[in-house]
Chain A
Amino acid sequence: MRTKCFLLLLLVMPVAVFANPLIKEYKLDNGLKLVVQEDHRAPVVVSQVWYRAGSLDEVNGKTGVAHVLEHMMFKGTKKVPAGQFSRLIAAAGGKENAFTSTDYTCYFQQLEKSHLPLSFKLEADRMENLQLSEEEFSKEIKVVMEERRWRTDDKPQSQVNEAFQGVVYRAHPYSRPVIGFMNDLENMTVADAREWYHNWYAPNNATLVVVGDVKADDVYQLAKQYFGKIKPKALPERKPQVEPVQLGERRVVVKAPAKLPYLLMGYHVPPVVNPESDWEPYALEVLAGVLSGNPAARLNQTLVRDTQLAIDVDAGYDLLARGRQSLFSLDGTPSEGKTVLELEQALIEQVEKIKKTGVSQQELDRVKAGVIAADVYQRDSMFYQGMQLGTIETIGFSWKMLEDYPNKLRAVTAEQVQAVAKKYLHQDNLTIATLDPQPIAPNAKPQGKPHVH
């Protein structure tokens, strides 16, 4: 067993000196990692269990199983029957929920600090003793299908996102929706959920994150007490999955009931792979900030305010991805009377402008000021800080990346921003999805007033 202690160094910031968070990292003998951040501002605690299992690890025909299992995790163990998990947390005044992404599945509770043992007891129990019954599965799979209808099937922009992912990735599992295809949900069985649980739910595939008014060493003792006896498992082999290089522009159109069209464009770009040496991801992050970091950033100022070509535009990039694939995205909605093609051309023009003339020092400084401030603001939310720690650890890096992040961004130069734009934002590396809005009913009135019976 190794016990490590790291104190975050004072960040070099032009602000008053204040207490920096104490973060400690531990590892149990069974492989469970524990990261604790002490925050004594309020007598509460956030407890999160992160499993390194998300849609990234799914296979064709069983899409959505990671998320279905997440739902099933509330369906009972021998000691804690279906529904009791939530009742016990509620009785302690707590809030709890869970979420699944491409990269992980996370379960969390927010409690008054004295109730942390309850959280550990319940999470440890369902880490190894989940009872996956046919009966509970048959009800819950219907709930998940309703969730898919609500989130994706009836939301035009979600449909565009799903189609986009399917085209921008051809081989990589990021091509598949986290919620799963309806066909796969319809054909999923409790055996699929069991297989998933037995494959991935193990202490050596999980990170426990605790943020709150606690003492780190006490939390470690508590974690050993509740999680220490759970046996590790041999995890399935994870094959490297690399998206082949894109050899030319790709396009996809979605038709759905809506009034406004929508445009989503994405370029393949790298996420962080080597936290020590990578600089491109940070340059891409600054580029996204220069394009849409605030309402007066280039895209909004030029396309929404000045030329009024669009009613909304955005740029996005995520530098953390366990699948080691990322995208630089541009999206927006054209104004009345303008087309998605006009908007596409205008967005590309903005990209070309940066490739040609770069970004100003003032723009760079503005993005960096935002990053420095956000680094302070995030400390107001224990939950968010836990999210960051858990995400980074689950993706396979050390939480210490957080401490370097502001400095890494500060080190980005205008030349680097221009360089990544030139290297990645070119037509052969571009995928474009558009929404072609369809009338909601043949007799719908022009202003979209619903037909009332």
Chain B
Amino acid sequence: MNLQYIKRIVASGFLMISTAAMFAATSVQAAVKIEQWQTSAGSAVYFVENHDLPILDLSVNFAAGSARDTLEKSGVASITRYLMTLGAAGMSDEAIANKFADVGAVLGGSFDADRAALSLRTLSSERERLQALNVFTQILQKPDFPDAVLAREKARIISGLQESATQPESISTKAFMSALYGTHPYSLDDSGEIDTVAAIKPDDLRAFYQQFYGAKGAVIAIIGDVTREQAQQIAESLSTGLPASSAPAPIAAVTAPGQAKEQRIAHPASQSHILLGYTGIKRNDPDLFPLYVGNYILGGGGFVSRLTEEVREKRGLVYSVYSYFMPMAEAGPFQIGLQTKKDQAEAALVLVRETLEKFLKNGVTEAELKAAKANIIGGFPMRIDSNKKILDYLSVIGFYKLPLNYLDGYNKNVESVTAAQIKDAFNRRLQTQNFVTVIVGDPNAQ
């Protein structure tokens, strides 16, 4: 079958995914029983025993995201994580891939500004599990960072960066993050820059690995068809051979923009890609609940949000318009995004700004608030209906040091959000007079 065309893309992607597991409904609080302990080397383990399927999923998470990069060596963090999978304990990239493939295991991972993770999905049967875990452990503990592989992958990454620099979506994201965060490391591109990537040497990766992939501070999430004893052995052996470095220092605090910035970038595309926003919130921010619930109403709730209603449903100006807060270790972005054909871009931008201003001025209605809570709380069972989703949830809880009983409190917090709190939090946090706006495919440029 050919490509599929979907009614709408999921607008609230980032926030929904990254806070996926935090919204509990009373009926399912007992559905996920998390066991938590420390390995002898100092890694935190979060384990859910589940024998419904003969699968084992695990991920190992490090505070080794792109926020650990410097401007001069931008790209080291992501390439370190990637190169770990392409040569370890004398095994070539080919040998590693074949050993996983021979037992049907799937190596995965994720990478963002805060966190670098490696993950493994394998059948839980002994032969498959042991072989997959053995290779996975070598990758974590004995990465080789071979010279030739680095040279090859750098060339590929640079080509990718050159391509990204021609595509409106990536141009706008890069310009937005750079304007919003200035010299803070959250401004850095996950993949680095063409010239900084070109300059990376194997020793840069080795040094980064030694500093940021230590056992202390690592978070190991495990779910699936193993016993607590087996999980303990697995976590112990994953953790023991990691570097003995101390847990990484906190990331520097973010400074909110002190003045408005607007960037218009010419591009021959038929649509303008518009991003606007401001610095948002931390994971442990006291405004998180009012902002999350409020944003559902503004632009996070897909089809039922105000932005979608005004810009898409009433006027047909866009296919997708959304807003989100991405809570991070330090203040992550608040962003509104849309794409529309160039000759209506100015009108769409005015409409988005009006919708936001009205939201800030008048707040939300009781009916909107009730509907938002109903969806967020009522949608909880779907957020933990697979091992994959629960694994993500364990990783977030562990990485951001949320308490094990966080769900209960979180649920109550969502329920207790008031319209007044939403209005207050949005007005305090979003200084629209200092917003960053990026328009790629400037309608006024030729």
Contact = CB atoms under 8 A, between A and B. Distances in A.
Given A111-B382, A139-B316, A451-B266, A440 B2 contact: no
B54 A16 contact: yes
A143 B319 contact: yes
A179 B3 CA distance: 9
B378 A92 contact: yes
Nearest to B103: A369
Contacts of B27: 43
Given A146-B339, A296-B93, A311 B159 contact: yes
A366 B191 CA distance: 32
Interface in A282-337: 293-297, 301, 304-305, 308, 311-312, 318, 320-322, 333, 335-336
B428 interface: no
A147 B27 CA distance: 39
A438 to B, nearest CB: 8
A101 interface: yes
Nearest to A371: B104
A246 interface: no
Contacts of B320: 150
A112 B2 contact: no
B225 to A, nearest CB: 7
A109 B168 CA distance: 32
A259 B165 contact: yes
Interface stretch (B38-46, B122-130, B206-214, B243-251): B122-130
A58 to B, nearest CB: 13
B303 A258 contact: no
A421 to B, nearest CB: 21
Nearest to B168: A154
B152 A142 contact: no
Contacts of B388: 380-381
Given A143-B319, A366-B98, A372-B104, A44 B1 contact: no
Interface in B256-271: 263-271
A178 B2 contact: yes
A242 interface: no
Nearest to A381: B386
A30 interface: no
Contacts, number: 280
Interface stretch (A66-74, A121-129, A225-233): A66-74
B5 A101 contact: yes
Nearest to B171: A450
Nearest to A437: B166
A142 B311 CA distance: 11
B152 A308 contact: yes
Interface in A366-405: 366, 369-374, 376-377, 379-382, 391
Nearest to B157: A311
B159 A260 contact: yes
Contacts of A373: 103-106, 122-123, 128
Contacts of A145: 341
Question: What are the 8 A-B residue pairs with the smallest beta carbon separation, nearest first?
Answer: A93-B378, A373-B104, A448-B165, A142-B316, A296-B97, A42-B385, A139-B316, A86-B303
Given A101-B4, A257-B267, 6 more contacts: A86-B304, A99-B6, A143-B318, A259-B166, A294-B97, A295-B93
27 contacts: A16-B124, A41-B385, A42-B381, A42-B384, A42-B386, A44-B382, A71-B7, A82-B313, A90-B301, A90-B375, A92-B378, A93-B374, A93-B375, A113-B381, A142-B317, A146-B317, A153-B271, A178-B2, A311-B159, A369-B101, A373-B104, A373-B105, A377-B121, A381-B388, A447-B165, A451-B266, A452-B265
